Amino acid sequence: MKVLTFAGSLRQKSLNKKLCHFVENFVGTEKLAEVEFVDLQSLSIPIYDGDVEASSGIPQGILSLIEKIQGCDALIISSPEYNGSISSALKTTLDWVSRHPSNALSGKHVLLLAASPGALGGVRGLWHGRVPLEVLGCHVYPEMFGLSKAHENLTDTNDIQDAKMKERLQSLVKKYLEFCKKS
């Protein structure tokens, strides 16, 4: 089974990228699946604009991401909460991906995660993130995970210091991947 993970954040030291790397390390170490992290920053994705699409087509970075989505069995997305909603990086990525005739996201299983310095761990944004994913035909896993106080909880080596939160996320990822294997 192949798992693709990415963060709905562009910042180099993003907490959500760190959370993706935690998942990547966990899945790889436990040999639960083959896993790949994609950094959206490296794809140079412009904000969706129909005029840009009409004149230049779908950006190469998006075409590369679409190819990776098509080749995976499951997606794990960790995204920050921006003003109680979805991050602009995630939204514009989904908008561009949706423009390709293949509808690469349709039928894909998605697990949503968030990391935030706040007490709610970014979960409010995940509720908003479910909407475009479901509209695009994704099967969004019912349970989500938000890591609160992520700036204190995530180490420089992409580990989670809070043992209960770490165990909860590991358990969720295992359940999600088991579900994907059965589907």
Is 8:129 a contact under the CB 8 Å cutoff? yes
Count of C-beta atoms within a 10 Å radius of residue 55: 8
Per-residue pLDDT of the chain (183 residues; tens, 9 = 90+): 999 999 999 999 999 999 999 999 999 999 999 999 999 999 999 999 999 999 999 999 999 999 999 999 999 999 999 988 999 999 999 999 999 999 999 999 999 999 999 888 888 899 999 999 999 999 999 999 999 999 999 999 999 999 999 999 999 999 999 999 998
Count, residues in the chain: 183
Domain limits, the chain: 2-181
Is 5:158 a contact under the CB 8 Å cutoff? no
Q: Give the CATH class of 2-181.
A: alpha beta
* CA atoms 158, 78, 90, 6: torsion sign: positive
